[in-house]
Amino acid sequence: MAQTVKRAYKYRFFPTPEQAEELARTFGCVRLVYNKALEERTRAYALEGRRVSYGESSAALTAWKRSGDYDFLSDVSSVPLQQALRHLQAAFANFFAKRARYPAFKSRKKSRLSAEYTRSAFRWRDGTLTLAKMSAPLDIVWSRLLPEGAEPSTLTVSKDAAGRWFVCILVEEKIGPLPPVEASVGVDAGVSALVTLSTGEKIVNPRHERRDRRRLAKAQRALARKEKGSNNRARARLRVARVYARIADRRHDHLHKVTTRLVRENQVIAVEDLAVRNMVKNHSLARAVSDAAWRESRGMLEYKAAWYGRTLVVVDRWFPSSKLCSACGALQAEMPLNVRAWTCACGAVHDRDVNAAKNVLAAGLAESRNACGAGVRPQRGSSRAGDRR
| Strands of 212-325, DSSP E | 268-272, 311-315
From the list 22, 116, 353, 367, the catalytic residue is: 353
Would you call 353 a catalytic residue per the annotation? yes
Phi, psi of 146 (to 5 degrees): -70, 155
What is the distance between the terminal CA atoms of the chain, rounded to a whole angstrom?
47
Instruction: Transcribe 78-139 into DSSP letters.
Output: HHHHHHHHHHHHHHHHHHHTTSS----PPPTTTS-EEEEEEGGGEEEETTEEEETT-SS---
From the list 188, 209, 291, 367, the catalytic residue is: 188
Residue 129: strand pairing partners:
124
CA distance 131 to 120: 10
Whether 165 contacts 21, CB under 8 Å: no
Would you call 272 a catalytic residue per the annotation? yes
CA distance 329 to 229: 63
Q: Computed from CA positions of residues 201, 202, 204, 205, in that sequence, does the dihedral angle turn out positive or negative?
A: positive
Q: Rg of the chain over CA atoms, in angstroms?
A: 25
Q: Computed from CA positions of residues 204, 275, 10, 305, in that sequence, does the dihedral angle turn out positive or negative?
A: positive
In 10 A of CB 171, how many CB atoms?
A: 17
Would you call 56 a catalytic residue per the annotation? no
From the list 22, 173, 209, 272, the catalytic residue is: 272
CA distances 308 to 3, 145, 305, 365, 367, Å, are 9, 20, 5, 19, 20
CA distance 4 to 173: 5
- DSSP code for 67: S
Q: Which residues participate in catalysis according to the annotation?
A: 188, 272, 353
